Amino acid sequence: MGDFFPERTADGSITFFSSEFGERFHSQGGAAQEAAGKFVGPCGVKLLPQRQNQIRIFDVCYGLGYNSAAALAAIWAVNPHCHVDLTAFDLDDRPAQAATAHLDPWPTTLQPLLIRLGQDHQVETPTLNARFHLGDARQTLPTVIRQGQQADAIFLDPFSPPKCPQ
C-alpha cells in the first residue's frame, strides 16, 4: 500500500492518505463518524448486546480497525460484560499498526486492546477474543468458515475498490 500519512478529519479522528493510491482511507467528514454511520448503525450492533451476551463480528478489510473499534465501543457501552469474538482480515497490518498512535476517539479501556490486535494479531480477555488474519480474505475467510465460525455482523470495507480491486 506504499506510504501513508495521517490526516485529521472533521470529527477530529485521524485517517491516512495512501500515496500509492492517491486516496484517503476515510472521508474528510470523519473517520470515526464513518465507522459508526456506515457499519455499526446499519448492522444494528447496538441492539445485539441487549439480546445476547456473546457477539461475533467479522471485519473484512480491517484497515485502521476503526469499524471494529466503533463496534466494540458501542457494544460495551450497552453491556460492558458482553463477550465479543472479533475476527479481522486484511492483506496488510501496517495501517492497523500506524493507527495505534491515533486512538483518541475510542475509550481508553479499548485502546490497549486495539494496539495488541494490530501488533500481536490476537487478544484474549474475559470480554474479547480477537484474531487478525493477515492475508487475502478470499483465502483466509473460507478457512475460518470451514472451522464453523459464524458472525452476527460482517463489515466489508475494502480500500478504494476502483484503484485497489483485490
Domains of the chain, by residue range, sit at: 30-156
pLDDT tens digits for 2-12?
A: 687 888 988 88
**Percent of the residues in the chain that have a pLDDT greater than 90, as a whole number:** 70
Please state the rounded mean pLDDT for residues 69-86. 98
CATH topology of domain 30-156: Rossmann fold (3.40.50)
Q: What number of CA atoms fall less than 13 Å from residue 157's CA on the CB side?
A: 25
Q: Mean pLDDT of all residues in the chain?
A: 90
pLDDT bracket for residue 30 (50, 70, 90): confident
Q: Please give the pLDDT value at position 31.
A: 85
Q: Please give the pLDDT value at position 2.
A: 65
Q: CA 73 to CA 71: how far, in whole Å?
A: 5
Please state the rounded mean pLDDT for residues 2-28. 83
Please state the rounded mean pLDDT for residues 26-32. 81
Please state the rounded mean pLDDT for residues 131-154. 93
Please state the rounded mean pLDDT for residues 8-37. 85
Assigned C-alpha cell, 82:
458482553
pLDDT exceeds cutoff 60 at 61: yes
pLDDT exceeds cutoff 90 at 29: no
Q: Please give the pLDDT value at position 164.
A: 54
Question: What separation in angstroms does the CA of 127 have from each of 14, 37, 39, 138, 164?
Answer: 27, 24, 21, 28, 35
Number of Cβ within 10 Å of residue 122's Cβ equals 12
**Residue from 1, 164, 158, 15 nearest 89 by CA:** 158
pLDDT tens digits for 93-127?
A: 999 999 999 999 999 999 999 999 999 999 999 99
Q: Please give the pLDDT value at position 46.
A: 95
Question: What separation in angstroms does the CA of 137 have from each of 45, 50, 59, 104?
Answer: 22, 30, 10, 28
